[in-house]
Amino acid sequence: MAAPRAPLHLVTPVWNRGTRGTRGLSRAVAPEGSQKKGRSLLQFLADRFYDVQALREYLLRKQVLKVHQKNRPFTYIRERFGPHAAGAYFILKQGGAVKFQGKEWIRSDARGHFSLDFLKFQAVPVEAVDASGCAINYQGLDSVCEWAETAGLFICPSVVGSRKDHSASPPPPTVALKELQSLWLQRCPHVDDWCLGRLHPLANSLQELSLAGCPRISERGLASLHHLQNLRRLDISDLPAVSNPGLTRILVEEMLPSCQVLGADWAQGLPSGPEEQSRDTASPLPA
């Protein structure tokens, strides 16, 4: 049965009006508003992103900037309520939890809200911090471990009055949570080897540290924990950047003899012995 002539007759002028057939047809079928919107979006992308690599670099820079903004120090909290409250406020804003000495754990809810009653504990030290899964980086660890007088942005009064005097030096940093005993950094995507080197101000107090599941921690970062001689428990399990977990655990145990190291079995990653190799190669033949 032949197709009706009327529909084909209606479509033919539409087809002929386009420069390349289907282009004219889609232009006629699509609403004019959506055409302008799509054209403006394509023009916007063409003007600002020349290729996929440029778009990827832009998104990466935006992500890095977002992480740095989340790790900015809250200097005004420290100046008004002291270092303990400032460190606790930073962790709670990250979505973590803190425990003041003799108090219950303080956590934020699913929407990121938390009570500000802890600001009353200005003289009460923080003894435990759980920042598991948070977007904390080396800059944020400075908020937990170490604070300068103006959070690293020191301005000498003499320089403000006269720019010729540059002899003054910034004051030495002060330890914010110097009584911190337990620190959990499990599955933190931005905690790397550089971050572990920032934990040295807690050497006198820190007794428990968990780094389980951090994808950017390697053997080099674990070697910087040698100054934490008061550690009693260290979790280094599930570290994908560590090439030889078994050997690394042995070296960490020798480096921290008084610490219980949790992680991979000591034989994981080590070459198998001659007996195991012969047992693997000698496969019995069926009778």
42 and 111 together in one domain: no
193 and 86 together in one domain: yes
For 244, 245, 247, 265, 271, the CA distances from 276, given in Å and listed in that order, are 19, 20, 18, 17, 10
46 and 168 together in one domain: no
51 and 105 together in one domain: no
100 and 192 together in one domain: yes
pTM over 0.75: no
pLDDT of residue 229: 94
pLDDT of residue 271: 57
150 and 48 together in one domain: no
Q: 3-state DSSP call for residue 85?
A: helix
pLDDT of residue 133: 94
Cα 177 to Cα 147: distance, rounded to the nearest angstrom: 9
Q: Is residue 63 part of a domain?
A: yes
Cα 128 to Cα 97: distance, rounded to the nearest angstrom: 8
Q: How many domains does the chain have?
A: 2
pLDDT of residue 2: 52
- Alpha helical stretches, state H, 104-240: 138-145, 157-161, 193-196, 219-223
90 and 211 together in one domain: yes
pLDDT of residue 192: 94
Please give the residue range of the domain that contains residue 58.
36-70
Q: What is the chain's pLDDT, residue by residue, as a tens digit (287 residues)?
A: 555 544 444 444 444 444 444 444 444 444 555 556 556 776 776 666 666 677 778 888 888 888 888 888 788 888 888 888 888 899 999 999 999 999 999 998 888 889 888 888 888 889 999 999 999 998 888 777 765 333 333 333 333 343 344 444 544 455 667 889 999 999 999 999 999 988 988 999 999 999 999 999 999 999 999 999 999 999 999 999 999 999 999 999 999 999 999 987 655 555 555 554 444 444 444 44
| β-strand partners of 100 | 126
pLDDT of residue 25: 41
- Based on the number of CB atoms within 10 Å of its own CB, is 133 exposed (0-12), middle (13-18) or buried (19 or more)? middle
Q: Is residue 257 part of a domain?
A: yes
| β-strand partners of 98 | 106, 129
Q: 3-state DSSP call for residue 114?
A: coil
pLDDT of residue 10: 46
